[in-house]
């Protein structure tokens, strides 16, 4: 579904910052799909959070945001 959305909008010059939660799958398969679907976009490094809440993963999220310039 996300691939259809990304493939049907003009993302030229836009920045896409993927993130997800998952208890089993990694993010790399999704990153490949996003790169293929979001033509013309600047795709930054994605983040997968495994379980817990945003609060319990605050340090990991903050480190990721810092690493991508936010």
- The whole-angstrom separation of Cα 25 and Cα 52 is 15
Q: What is the CA radius of gyration of the chain?
A: 13
Q: What is the pLDDT of residues 8-65, one digit of tens each?
A: 999 999 999 999 887 777 888 889 999 999 989 999 999 998 876 767 888 999 999 9
> pLDDT at position 56, please?
81
The structural domain count of the chain equals 1
Report the pLDDT value the prediction gives residue 21, as an integer from 0 to 100: 83
DSSP tally for the chain: helices H, then strands E: 3, 4
Task: Print the domain residue range for 57.
Answer: 2-67
Specify the residue for token string 């936010």.
Answer: 70
């Amino acid at each position: 579904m996300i691939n259809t959305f990304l493939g049907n909008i003009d993302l030229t010059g836009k920045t896409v910052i993927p993130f997800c939660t998952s208890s089993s799958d990694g993010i790399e398969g999704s990153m490949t799909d996003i790169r293929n679907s979001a033509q013309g976009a600047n795709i930054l490094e994605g983040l997968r959070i495994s379980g817990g809440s945003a609060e319990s993963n605050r340090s990991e999220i903050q480190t990721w945001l810092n690493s991508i310039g936010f």
